[in-house]
Amino acid sequence: MDQIASTAAPGWLTAPAPVPYPAALAEMQAHIAAMQAGLATERIWLLEHPPLYTAGTSAKPDDLQVPDRFPTFTTGRGGQWTYHGPGQRVVYIMLDLNVPHGGVPARDLHGYVEGLETWLIRALASVGVRGEIRAGRVGVWVANPRTGTDDKIGAIGVRVTRWVTSHGVSLNVNPSLDHFGGIVPCGIRAHGVTSLHALGVPATMAEVDDALRTAWRDVFGGKPACKVS
């Protein structure tokens, strides 16, 4: 039987204040369970966290270089060590990949990750930043004209359970970049981390959110994004 592409927009939820990681994880898991039971629809959750480090399934203990700096959490997403904190837009994405979404085919995890990269790149372009992908490195990168370095600005770490997605992406708007110094971000030692403000782009979080909503429709299709309370 052919699968019918998703045409309805996911509900977009924005947290008004930083959400503790355990509370966010519990809410995300509860929503996914409700989706799998047919009791909830797809959701995209925009939030910030208090300063913390999370370890993905490939995280190496030695890459946590300052263990007592911030709370640390082990998580079921892919990837390695990541920092989250105020000024960074975290987006938890709960989609049913049993059906296609725009240009992303059904049950195509690789295509889904590529779609997330394209989404972030298009959102960055709308605020005047050229984001790029790099062979062998997941996430979104920029050639930093201020430092001459190749820096990461957007991270991706996902989990898929029975083809329903969780976790998602983070985009550095204006976090404290020195907080990344407690880890080896994503296990990559040879490159740095940057943000929109560090690149001289003073975009607000609201402007970034608008860019993300618009770019989502371009990549993943669906009707205009709807907000939920």
Any idea which residues carry the catalytic annotation? 186
For residues 44 and 12, give the distance between their C-alpha atoms in angstroms, rounded to a whole number. 5
The CA-CA-CA angle for residues 29, 30, 33, to 5°, reads 85
Tokens of 12: 């977009």
Q: Nearest-CA neighbor of 196 among 146, 135, 134? A: 146
For residues 199 and 18, give the distance between their C-alpha atoms in angstroms, rounded to a whole number. 24
For residues 21 and 32, give the distance between their C-alpha atoms in angstroms, rounded to a whole number. 16
Burial of 99 (0-12, 13-18, 19+ CB in 10 A): middle
Confirm if 120 and 168 have CB atoms less than 8 A apart: no
Beta partners for residue 152, in sequence order: 141, 193
For residues 186 and 56, give the distance between their C-alpha atoms in angstroms, rounded to a whole number. 9
For residues 77 and 92, give the distance between their C-alpha atoms in angstroms, rounded to a whole number. 11
Confirm if 164 and 122 have CB atoms less than 8 A apart: no
Rg (CA), the chain: 17
